[in-house]
Homo-oligomer: A and B are copies of this chain.
């Protein structure tokens, strides 16, 4: 009975199977790791941090409750993988924004801020895992590397502003905190639905104002 139920569940999601002509999947999943991560994100998006469970992820991936242990060990392992994706996605989104923003350092920094917020709103589950209070394996190497990459993109964008070369390091740090705080706060409040902004147009306007002012208020070094 169990096997049949699994097959039915899988058959309802065609196109996920790797190889194998028919819609049926074989005993092995193909890419359970990936499927569990996706299930986890969907679950978090649907039920929030409270509703997350490893068993439900397994259920959604069409797999027995004990299967996830082979890939992630435990729930923290899966959440850590999702958080890593979150940092990586953030870095990629910021990278892309920089490329599209042209050569002006100001425009680039502004674009990074916009990309940060857009990413948070597009992937609320990932964002909440990264910056929420769920248990993560903070010692995980992949997680730390992804976090560092995202962090350094922001730092580099600030350092590239005119006149910043002469800014002392701890002052540069404080400026990074300032810029990051603004953008991060906006993302959090927007995600929580706390912002007193009516429609998406209001929000876009406020967002643009915010990123512009963040750029403008970063002091130049040589004054």
Binding site for B on A (CB under 8 A): 48-50, 128, 131-135, 151, 170, 173-178, 180-189, 192, 194-197, 202, 205-206, 209-210, 213, 216-217
Knowing A173-B197, A181-B182, A216-B217, the reply to whether A131 touches B188 (Cβ < 8 A) is: yes
| Contact status B189-A176, CB under 8 Å | no
Can you tell how many copies of this chain the complex includes? Answer: 2
Question: Which residues of B lie under 8 Å from residue A181 when comparing CB positions?
Answer: 181-183, 185-186, 189, 210
Some 22 contacts from A to B, beta carbons below 8 A apart, are: A48-B135, A49-B133, A49-B134, A151-B196, A170-B202, A173-B197, A173-B206, A174-B209, A177-B186, A177-B195, A177-B196, A177-B197, A177-B206, A181-B185, A181-B210, A182-B185, A184-B188, A185-B186, A185-B188, A188-B188, A213-B217, A217-B217
CB distance from A123 to the nearest CB of B (A): 14
Please indicate the chain B residues that have their CB under 8 angstroms from the CB of A186 in the complex: 177, 181, 185
Chain B residue, CB-CB nearest to A49: B133
A181-B182, A185-B182, A186-B185 given; A50·B133 CB < 8 A: yes
Known: A177-B197, A185-B180. A131 touches B210 (CB 8 A): no
B128 & A192 in contact (Cβ 8 Å cutoff): no
CB A216 to nearest CB in B, in angstroms, measures 7
* Bound: A217/B197 CA distance, A: 20
**Are A196's CB and B173's CB within 8 A?**
yes
When A49-B49, A185-B183, A185-B185 are in contact, do A178 and B133 touch as well, CB less than 8 Å? no
A135 to B48 CA separation, bound complex (whole angstroms): 9
Q: Once bound together, how far apart are the Cα atoms of A210 and B195, in whole Å?
A: 20
How far is it, in angstroms, between the C-alpha of A158 and the C-alpha of B216 when the chains are bound?
Answer: 20
**Distance to closest chain B CB from A153 (angstroms):** 14
A195 to B49, CA, bound (A): 23
Nearest B-chain residue to A185, judged by Cβ: B185
Tell me the bound Cα distance from A132 to B176 in angstroms: 24
The answer to whether A189 and B182 have CB atoms under 8 Å apart is no
Are A177 and B48 in touch, CB under 8 angstroms? no
Judging by beta carbons under 8 Å apart, are B49 and A206 in contact?
no
Known pairs A177-B186, A181-B185, A216-B217; list 14 more (Cβ under 8 Å): A49-B50, A50-B135, A151-B196, A170-B202, A173-B196, A173-B197, A173-B202, A177-B196, A177-B206, A177-B210, A178-B206, A178-B209, A181-B189, A217-B217
